[in-house]
Structure 1
Amino acid sequence: MPADLTTADPLAFGAEGGLFRRLRDASGADWTGYTWHPFVQQLSAGTLPLPAFQHYLIQDYLFLIHFARAKALAVVKGESLQAMRDKAAAVLAILDETLLHLKYCAEWGLSETQVTQIPETLETVSYTRWVLDRGLAGDILDLEIALVPCTVGYAEVARRIMADPKRMVAGNPYQSWIESYAGEGYQSMAEAAARRIDALGVSHGGEARFASLLRDFSMAARLEQGFWQQGLDAAGLAKTP
């Protein structure tokens, strides 16, 4: 079910009053700094230099590998057999996505050798290992909180771009990337991820743990900012668009 776009915030996912929206709203500038980072703004305007995007694509491939590992950990942490099945399917989907990602990179002039042999950056290491650490140290809710900003954040990024009055509509070189996250399939997946956080918040004491969950949610948003920023840094660009 897509998020209700008639609500006060058409960018938000999940239920009004649910744990995901409460965390998103409480994270404030951390969340906004992630979902409307200068990297994102330049994607929208079609002005992002190719080297910045290529750097991002390579590190995103490496990120996906660890994202699959984190989803595999969610199988172990799953609260029910159905949750374990769902997470096992997600692991396979992400592993399949790595192959598609390599094909997508090739469209941007990046060979498989380039993508697979370039090492992880400090930003990629910091983010992915932090997610795994939260999953190992906590329960399924802790792990899902560390993961969900990535899943839902990219869907919100797409919504922000689509609503941007300065967006380059015709001839944007990054239109295929934008459409992949703005499409119904990804948007529905993001809504389901937000609703899962809402449900886990009820079943796993989210209200009593709100302060610690917010710290992790905000940290993930800041790590996402760093993930965007490394692309701009690689291209020798300042943080402002």
Structure 2
Amino acid sequence: MSFFERLKTAASVEWRAYTEHPFTNGLADGSLPQAAFRHYLVQDYLFLIEFARAYALAVYKSPSLADMREAAAGLSAILDVEMNLHVKLCADWGLSPADLEQVPPAAEMLAYTRYVLDAGMRGDLLALKVALAPCVIGYAEIATRLASRTHADAATNAYRIWIAEYAGVPYQEVAAKARAHLDHLADLYATPAREAELTAIFKEATRLEADFWEMAWREGQRVAELR
């Protein structure tokens, strides 16, 4: 069993709560309230800004030039690809990038990104990559599951673009490379004594991912109750 698979097995409860959250199921069949998706997407834009900082930190923490290049590629994927999807989708609501940057950050977004950055500041590159893994690898797994659903790519599903982006080959390759690099780092630096510490980081980051979905899910319910 690979290092990443061991992390997932140890965090099976947290992983299921994250990857099978009702928010994600609502994306698959198009039933997710737009207010929930909008709140998520705007906060996720702010989240990506902070995650870009985490990948920049990964460059600094890298012990080799190959590690630096891998981290730099992740940084570029966020700044030059992933954030563009958010800008495109938010433009449909009349929101510009400048508008997005002015939105107050949600507590859940701050809690998650601060945790990841703190894990990276206190630990080594492996600890940082473990904290990043639920996001970059988890989104690929979630999107693959959603894409297999009957109505995922239906013209009537407003979230088909999001699903297609993360289920598509380019992002799946990003996630596969991140997983391979994580396993490579673990082979070099993950001693049995450290595995419990790294598992705890993974569990907490995964729990915070689920909290991010829950934040947006609650917003959708709140708006629905006001109507």
Q: Normalising by structure 1, what TM-score?
A: 0.86
Contact 1:44 1:168 in 2 (8 A): yes
* Shift, 1:206, TM fit: 4.3
**Residue ranges of structure 1 left out of the alignment (5+ in a row):** 1-16
Q: 2:29 aligns with which of 38, 45, 61?
A: 45
Using the TM superposition, give the Cα deviation of residue 169 of structure 1 relative to its aligned residue in structure 2, in angstroms.
Answer: 4.3
- Counterpart in 1 of 2:161? 176
1:120-148 per-position Cα deviation (integer Å, ceiling 9, x unaligned): 00000000000000000000100000001
Aligned to 2:225: none
Moved more, 169-178 or 222-231: 169-178
1:21-170 map, 5 Å: 21-97=5-81, 98-164=83-149, 167-170=151-154
Contact 1:54 1:110 (8 Å CA) reproduced: no
Give the SS at the match of 2:25.
helix
Please give the root-mean-square deviation of Cα atoms over the aligned residues, in Å: 1.8
Provide Cα deviations, 1:87-142, integer angstroms capped at 9, x if missing partner: 22332332224345323311344343432211100000000000000000000100
Q: Which residue of 1 aligns with 2:219?
A: 234
Q: CA deviation at 1:75?
A: 0.7
Please tell me the residue identity of whatever aligns with 2:7.
L
Residue ranges of structure 2 left out of the alignment (5+ in a row): 223-227
- The 1-side partners of 2:211 and 2:67 are apart by 31
Q: How many residues of Structure 1 are paired with residues of Structure 2 in the alignment? A: 221
Letter in 2 for 1:44: A
Asked if 2 retains the 8 angstrom alpha-carbon contact of 1:30 and 1:218, the reply is yes
Match of 1:187 among 144, 169, 172: 172
Which amino acid letter does the alignment assign opposite residue 38 of structure 1? P
Change (3 A) 1:207 1:189: farther
Which has more helix, going by share of residues?
Answer: 2
2:209 paired residue among 224, 228, 238:
224
Structure 1 window deviating more from structure 2 (173-182 vs 200-209): it is: 200-209
Normalised by the length of structure 2, the TM-score is 0.91
Q: Which residue of 1 aligns with 2:4?
A: 20
Q: Provide closer, same or farther for how the CA distance between residues 38 and 206 of structure 1 changes in structure 2, counting only shifts above 3 A.
A: farther
SS at match of 1:118: coil
Q: Distance in 1 between matches of 2:62 and 2:6?
A: 23
Which ranges of 4 or more aligned residues in structure 1 deviate by more than 4 Å? none
Distance 1:29 1:108, change over 3 A: farther
